[in-house]
Amino acid sequence: MRPDTPADHTTEAERLLRTAAQYPEDQEPLLLQAAAHLELSGDRPRATHLYDTLLSADPSQPHLIRALKAANLWEYGHEAEARAIIEGVRASGPLDAAPWEIVAETLESHDELESSEEIFSEAARLLMRSVKDVREVPHPTRSLLTSRHRVRRMLALPHDDWDTLADTLHTADVPLDELHDPKRLWSLGSSDPAELQAEITRLRSELGSYRTALSRPFPVAVLHWPEAELDELLASYPELESEYPTYRAHLTDIEASLRELAQAGTPNLGIVPATVPSYEAFAASEASSPANADLLPQYATTLAARGRALAWPPSRSAPCWCGSGRTYGECHGSE
């Protein structure tokens, strides 16, 4: 069940903090999730403390953490400090879309639309330089272009090439121009049931896209046992042979399962590499035996929450997830 109340979010934050203490090597993604829940619970000073803790430990995503800290600070009255952090993130020119989008949306949420659009455009110029094929624009950059489209629509700016690209990449039923039309907000006050129903439909579509973006770091994950690990697993726990009859079948099942989930409309799919020691430790933490096949999906979910998942599908020119050394298009992506 998803947390819905401040108390639920506090409880979830405490659970994540305990998990971070248990798995210090995965502290960064777990503390980031805990900080998000603390913000939702209303405990913004404690969330700031977690961001500071992360920044003091040489994190892998310092720009993202600073952006999140700035957004959080502004929400509880520390505007000057938040602005200084935003300028620092901007000056550093991160090559990840997420920090740019967070600082631009922070400005947007405080009605500084011109500054927000300026940062969105600066980020687009930087991030799109490395994109050779618009069909393979990374998901975070797609999200940034969509958000930029929204702000430019609110400013009544004419479409440019990146707005057109955002429209092209948008897959929901309701076009971006409709979703981002400022005038549609007036229909929320309409007494016409048809207008209200149409607006509800549009809002549901927008909310669905927003939830997809938010859930991106926490994918639906499938386990991948490298061949040596799978051999060790089956030698130690032959009860699992029905789950993994052969290594080749294991690889085939992974790709087939992910494609089936994708065709069913499941977003944010991922693959997590598994190891026997890690799995045994997980089974021990659950007071169960590693031979219990019911633990396998739980183990996959836990690894994903710890930031171990690789997004699927990779681009056709990227290395295949199976570790064959071939590109995905030449390997499992060709099946």
Query: Which structural domain range is residue 15 located in?
Result: 6-214
pLDDT tens readout for residues 109-135: 888 889 999 999 999 999 999 888 887
Length, in residues, of the chain:
335
**Residue 1 located in a structural domain:** no
**Same domain as 144, residue 32:** yes
**Same domain as 163, residue 253:** no
**Residue 314 located in a structural domain:** yes
**Same domain as 153, residue 234:** no
**Same domain as 24, residue 65:** yes
**Residue 176 located in a structural domain:** yes
CA 177 vs CA 56, 200, 228: distances in Å: 42, 16, 51
* pLDDT bucket at 39, cuts 50 / 70 / 90: very high
CA 312 to chain centre: 12
pLDDT tens readout for residues 285-311: 788 899 999 999 888 888 887 777 888
**Residue 54 located in a structural domain:** yes
**Which H helix or E strand runs over 218?**
none
Q: Does the pLDDT of residue 200 top 70, yes or no?
A: no
Query: Strand 220-224 to strand 269-273: parallel, antiparallel, or no bridges (unpaired)?
Result: parallel
- Biggest CA pair distance of the chain: 69
Record the pTM: 0.64
Instruction: Count up the domains in the chain and report the number.
Output: 2
**Same domain as 288, residue 252:** yes
Q: Which residues pair with 270 in a beta bridge?
A: 221, 311
